[in-house]
Amino acid sequence: MDRRNFLKQSVFASGMTLIPSFLKGMEFLRPEQLSGYRNVIIIQLSGGNDGLNSIIPVSNDIYYSLRPEIAKKKEQTLKITDDLAFNNNLKAIAALYDLGEVSIINNVGYPNPNRSHFRSTDIWQTASDANQYLNTGWVGRYLDANCQHPYQAIEVDSSLSLALKGDTMNGIAVPDPNQLYKTTREPFFNNLVINTKNEMLDEDNQGYLYKTLLDTYSSASYIHETSKIYKTTTEYTNHPFAKNLKTIADFIVSGLKTRVYYSSLGGFDSHVNQLNSQDRLLNIYSEAVGALVKDLKKNDRFKDTLILTFSEFGRRVKQNGSRGTDHGAANNIIAIGGSLKKAGVYNELPNLSDLDDNGDIKYSIDFRRIYATILHKWLGVEDKMILHKKFSTLEFI
């Protein structure tokens, strides 16, 4: 394995990608310096969330005829317009919508959609064409082109998604900043550090690993102490996803110079008995995002934050024989922020009378236009170089 691939694939037991420059170059901004320092939080609803039962076309007879057992009744929804409503488990999202802080972008997808979880996730995370295979993510390429430190993109999880892997620089995966400190003080790690000699620190992979161990050990106390700058008093639920968003809030308000955060909530592959499982997950998602926004508003950081929620594909419009839905294609995306240019329903609703040959919603907005918009208008960088081609931007920010 060459050195570059070793760096891209090395993962420390705590869940932090092994990149010494993160540990040596960690810098923080004081809270009073943060005005105008924009960041984006990307949330993936893994498994293929059913957009039609999340944001519901309540006046569409086709929706009810194709989903006789799983369609959400109008009284089970929260009104957006006469034609559209939120699932009633998205109460916090609906409240933000009423404040003008949500943009709903419909019919988002890409040409020749793939209905495999793994392949479609790769397409969304790399921003590739359906027949194109890339080994770098769109956020990773943003790091390569525009950032000096890997911590400028952080995934709050135990492993790093392809989206945050670049050619020369990776983001980092950190489930809990305190865990790093605890792990480096365990006897096994401590003994490795004590018995590592400088002459071992050559250019091969073993030397790279030992050097990283030393860098991790020497920097862990600093990271542990600095992450205490802000500890939220906002109440989050006890679900792991909510804890991840709480960690992101702590990072943002503490002044960590991170531009992109990434987190995910799984379980949305609803082939069987969809209503109960999806409703439960949407409630977890909504409550966690509601707490996150409350936290950011309290600390005057919401205006500088954009929250983008996507899933790797939508679901089939017609329910299956197990009171669920099968893999679909185009879906809706939710953008949340304190500085939206166009809040509300951004574009036309799904056309349920004009589906593709598989019975799926057709796309009208390429998802890479959303990425281009974030890169160019929010992060202020050259989007074409990162996305490998030019996509027209949207007007939601």
pLDDT digits (tens, 9 = 90+) for 362-390: 999 999 999 999 999 999 999 999 999 99
Q: Is residue 374 part of a domain?
A: yes
Taking the whole predicted model, whether its pTM rises above 0.85 is answered as: yes
Q: What is the DSSP letter of 186?
A: S
Closest CA to 263 of 105, 57, 41: 41
Lowest-pLDDT range of 4-13, 31-40, 239-248: 4-13
- Which range of residues forms the domain containing residue 254? 34-177+232-387
Q: How many domains in the chain?
A: 1
| Residue-wise pLDDT tens digits, 64-114 | 999 999 999 999 999 999 999 999 999 999 999 999 999 999 999 999 999
Q: What is the DSSP string of 271-324?
A: SSSHHHHHHHHHHHHHHHHHHHHHHHHHTT-GGGEEEEEE-S--B-SS--TTSS
Lowest-pLDDT range of 225-234, 248-257, 283-292, 313-322: 225-234
CATH at residue 159: 3.40.720
pLDDT for residue 29: 44
Query: For 46-172, where are the alpha helices, taking DSSP H only?
Result: 61-66, 91-98, 117-126, 138-146
pLDDT for residue 151: 77
Q: Is residue 1 part of a domain?
A: no
Q: Is residue 154 part of a domain?
A: yes
Over residues 163-186, the mean pLDDT reads 78
Distance CA 31, CA 227 (A): 13
Structural element, H or E, at residue 40: strand 39-45
Closest CA to 57 of 23, 80, 90: 80
Distance CA 197, CA 241 (A): 41
pLDDT for residue 364: 98
Please, which pLDDT band fits residue 270 given cuts at 50, 70 and 90? very high
Q: Is residue 285 part of a domain?
A: yes
- Using DSSP's 3-state secondary structure scheme, residue 187 falls into helix
Please, which pLDDT band fits residue 34 given cuts at 50, 70 and 90? very low
Distance CA 315, CA 91 (A): 22
Distance CA 345, CA 94 (A): 12
Q: What is the DSSP letter of 138?
A: H
Average pLDDT, the chain: 86
Indicate whether 212 pLDDT > 60: no
Count of residues for the chain? 397
Q: Is residue 347 part of a domain?
A: yes
Q: Is residue 318 part of a domain?
A: yes
Give the percent of the chain with pLDDT over 70: 79
| Residue-wise pLDDT tens digits, 110-165 | 999 999 999 999 999 999 999 999 999 999 999 999 987 777 888 998 888 999 99
Over residues 269-296, the mean pLDDT reads 98
Give 186 or 46, the one with higher predicted confidence.
46
pLDDT for residue 171: 82
Strand partners, 28: 256
Indicate whether 296 pLDDT > 60: yes
Q: Is residue 270 part of a domain?
A: yes
Distance CA 288, CA 307 (A): 12
Q: Is residue 92 part of a domain?
A: yes
